[in-house]
A = this chain, B = another copy of it.
Amino acid sequence: MKYGYFDDRRKEYVIQTPDTPLPWINYLGSNQFFSLLSNTGGGYSFYRDAKLRRITRYRYNNVPNDIGSRFFYIKDQDEIWSPCYKPVKSKLDYYSCRHGMGYSIISGSRNSIVASITFFVPLKDNCELQHVTLTNEGDSKKSFDLFGVVEWCLWNAVDDAANYQRNLSIGEVEVENSVVYHKSEYRERRNHYGFYSVNADTCGFDTNRDSFLGADKDWSLPDRVRSGQSTDSIASGWYPIASHQISISLEPGETKELVFILGYIENEKNDKWDSPNKINKTKAKEMISKYESLSSVNKAFSELAGYWEDLLSNYQVHSALPQLDRMVNIWNQYQCMATFNMSRSASYYETGTGRGMGFRDSCQDLLGFVHMIPEQARERIIDIASIQFEDGSTYHQYQPLTKQGNADIGGGFNDDPLWLIGCTTAYIRETGDMSILDEMVPFNNVKGTEKPLLEHLKRSVYYTINHKGPHNLPLIGRADWNDCLNLNCFSEEPGESFQTCENIDNKKAESIFIGAMFVKYAGEYADLCSRLGNTEEADYVNKEIQKMTEAIETSGWDGSWFLRAYDSYGDPVGSHICEEGQIYIEPQGFCVMAGIGIQNGNAKKALDSVEERLTTPYGIQLLNPCYTKYHINLGEITSYPPGYKENGGIFCHNNPWVSIAHTVIGQRNEAFESYKRISPAFTEEISDIHRTEPYVYSQMIAGREAPNYGEAKNSWLTGTASWSFVNVSQFILGIRADYDGLRIEPCLPDELNEITIIREFRDARFNIHINNRKTGKIQIMVDGEKIKGTLIPLIENKKLYTVEVDV
């Protein structure tokens, strides 16, 4: 069952009912001001940091759910309704929500009044614009009141929900004309304030939540809306809001437009005040006046559209499968940008108050956005590398504001260092910019410790070489990619973090997964060394890779699939001899991606085992059989009920690895099946089962053993986005940036006979047409000339490559 449809021309998903199974959201903002916005108007805004600079208030896990922080009401005589359906929830004659690229348009109508609100964050200003269009589609004149309301957060989202002793006494506002200024704590150390304005005269306002809501204290029917009479309340402590009441008259057929601005302003410390206790509003007034006219609002909207057009234009496919095209051309890339902007901080499942940027998350996310924003990717690589320690190990997370490693969680996740190589080579392949390897980068952000980035990569490689266990496989540390497989944890304390608790480290617990990572990424490092002429280093590392490959083949093979690990007792994890958790997905995908087992047939055997034991119609489960008991030697993975999360859920992030693995051994159709199973556009029809948004990936889909089999959770902020894009764009469609040119190695399924791809790469445009003749061989013509191999070499100043491919 679907709840809407894709409008590909407008790059929108159109939701046709407010009753989606869960709130279906969009992200607004591309720079410093961000908003989360659900299809019924829920969500919140923040400036740069979702914890420390929360602008509006939102309550997670609330009942009634997803109410806040912006509210629109129409009071039309005795009828009260919301154009976004919520919070009033009066039945609408018409409803739609169009989630587009950095904007959403929510429309509702009732009794011949049509209200449509376009929400977006302009590229150049720290504000959310709410462009309201009101039309009288009836035969008689309509007079009604519109209320636009926001609820302020007292800046720090954690304190805001905890420190009531203080909070209930600090709220302060100013009101001037049609603007409410939120200035809590501005009197003391803050030099920023928020404002909510409307470009019209108001007939009343409220800034005190209880005055606005009245006795029932319910957003669904505030007293002030019911009575149609604002109280012009001035908040003093408690819960400051901003409500504007505007009287509207519309002749039949008439349309009026209003612009509300939710803005954020910073002043210089010595320029905070206009007069005693009156804040300096100069910058706010500039912003308000800038968007006073509709033409400037429309211009800002066009600029935003142009921005996204540019970003997405670097990779465009045209095929006979609209689902494929819309994922590749629009939504998958769009989601990759969301992971760039948010990392894992703020979604409807991540409160924005918890963790910083993950080391491995950021490295992997980058694979999905590097082709769109290479300069910002470069910056991020330097930030990430700066939290590496001198021994090659790394902090597991860092704070985006301070860029310091997060000491609370610390390090000890032994896969982390190797990911740095993967993102660095991806950046260089995309841009050709080898100079990044010479960039001086500190260790642990300590001044004076700077070494070239290449040295950081080397330390990553040597960290693994120097930390091996009894089977010559890499020690796992606190965990590898699978944060929940905690082999040195042995936690007995309820609520204790499995990630930070480390009770033993007897140098026994080993990870085959890290072994495979080593083969892949140390290989990329060795390749870099060769390119830089350091063949001695390349040879040495290649020998180490050979040793690791042998170790995996000797001690990491279970007979029909790759083992997952050895625990601290030296017992295998993910083996047929285990009672539960006999096979894990990660090493199957990653070993084959790294080229292990290709020649001896183990690769195929492993993927056959995945098909047989892990694959479901909704995707590939992480392991099988699920753990039904807590295994203290395995950690958090066994703490989840069977079928959820890492305990046998379909943890989507690793599904593309299997799909890529299929391409590696030429299983074209299997690769594409695997891709489609978790691809949102391809699974749109089962939106009622997945329940999350059908335009973005979710982190997890409940596995076969879960009562809610097939139900997805944690949409948006997941590494699934980048790996899926890597999979489809580089391996299935097969267009890969490479050091010396563009590599074309499609691995198309039977159902795709022909595709064209436009790829902007290093200042040139590649128009690629591929005929899928299912030959298994690749023949490439560039501008009418056949080339050898699959790499299109770059020719200086050449701006256009016309490429014809037969496969």
Chain A contacts to B: CB under 8 angstroms: 19, 52, 59-65, 67-68, 89, 155-156, 159, 161-170, 172, 185, 187-191, 209, 213, 215-220, 234, 236-237, 239, 276-277, 349-351, 353-354, 491-496, 628-630, 638-641, 644-645, 649, 699-700, 702, 706-708, 713-714
Contact = CB atoms under 8 A, between A and B. Distances in A.
A354 B708 contact: no
B172 A641 contact: yes
A164 B60 CA distance: 9
A702 B218 CA distance: 26
A170 B641 contact: yes
Contact of A234 (B215, B216, B707): B707
Contacts of A215: 19
Given A169-B640, A189-B630, A65 B217 contact: yes
Contacts of A219: 63-64
Given A351-B164, A641-B172, A62 B64 contact: no
Given A19-B215, A165-B699, A190-B494, 18 more contacts: A59-B59, A60-B164, A61-B161, A61-B239, A64-B218, A155-B494, A156-B495, A159-B495, A161-B351, A162-B351, A163-B354, A165-B714, A169-B700, A169-B713, A185-B494, A188-B630, A189-B494, A189-B496
B641 A169 contact: yes
A52 B172 CA distance: 34
A219 to B, nearest CB: 5
Contacts of A191: 494
A421 B247 CA distance: 66
A371 to B, nearest CB: 29
28 contacts: A60-B164, A61-B161, A63-B213, A65-B217, A156-B495, A159-B495, A161-B351, A162-B351, A162-B353, A162-B354, A164-B349, A164-B714, A165-B350, A168-B713, A169-B649, A170-B639, A185-B639, A187-B629, A187-B639, A189-B492, A189-B493, A189-B494, A218-B220, A236-B706, A236-B707, A236-B708, A237-B708, A237-B713
Contacts of A349: 164-165, 168
Contacts of A638: 188
A489 to B, nearest CB: 11
A656 to B, nearest CB: 20
Contacts of A236: 641, 706-708
A492 B269 CA distance: 10
A170 B59 CA distance: 21
Nearest to A645: B169
A65 B239 CA distance: 12
A478 to B, nearest CB: 17
A759 B629 CA distance: 59
A213 to B, nearest CB: 7
Contacts of A495: 52, 155-156, 159, 185, 189
Contacts of A496: 189
Nearest to A190: B494
B170 A217 contact: no
B161 A161 contact: yes
Closest 5 CB pairs of A and B: A169-B644, A236-B707, A188-B639, A188-B630, A64-B218
A368 to B, nearest CB: 20
B713 A64 contact: no
Contacts of A209: 63
A64 to B, nearest CB: 4
A236 B59 CA distance: 22
A491 B19 CA distance: 48
A636 to B, nearest CB: 8
Task: Kindly name the residue among A155, A168, A191, A237 whose own CB sees the greatest number of chain B CB atoms within 10 A.
Answer: A237
A384 B353 CA distance: 33
Contacts of A164: 60-61, 349-351, 714
Given A215-B19, A714-B165, A170 B628 contact: no
Contacts of A68: 63
Nearest to A185: B494
B217 A64 contact: yes
A496 B353 CA distance: 16
A766 to B, nearest CB: 39
A167 B714 CA distance: 11
Nearest to A493: B189
Nearest to A711: B237
Nearest to A627: B187
Contacts of A641: 169-170, 172, 187, 236-237
Contacts of A190: 494
Contacts of A649: 169
Task: Kindly name the residue among A67, A188, A700 whose own CB sees the greatest number of chain B CB atoms within 10 A.
Answer: A188
A497 to B, nearest CB: 10
A628 B162 contact: no
A630 B273 CA distance: 13
Given A354-B163, A641-B169, A630 B706 contact: no
A399 to B, nearest CB: 14
Contacts of A185: 494-495, 639
Contacts of A89: 216
Contacts of A708: 236-237
A169 B637 CA distance: 12
A222 to B, nearest CB: 10
Given A159-B495, A164-B349, A165-B349, A67 B60 contact: no
A220 B218 CA distance: 11
Contacts of A64: 216-219
A700 to B, nearest CB: 8
Nearest to A219: B63
A495 B153 CA distance: 13
B491 A189 contact: yes
A539 to B, nearest CB: 44
A630 B155 contact: no
Contacts of A159: 495
A209 B62 CA distance: 11
A212 to B, nearest CB: 10
Contact of A63 (B187, B218, B714): B218
Contacts of A170: 639-641, 644
A789 to B, nearest CB: 44
A676 to B, nearest CB: 25
A264 to B, nearest CB: 14
Contacts of A239: 61
Contacts of A188: 494, 630, 638-639
Contacts of A277: 628
Contacts of A707: 234, 236
Contacts of A628: 276-277
Contacts of A172: 641
A302 B495 CA distance: 38
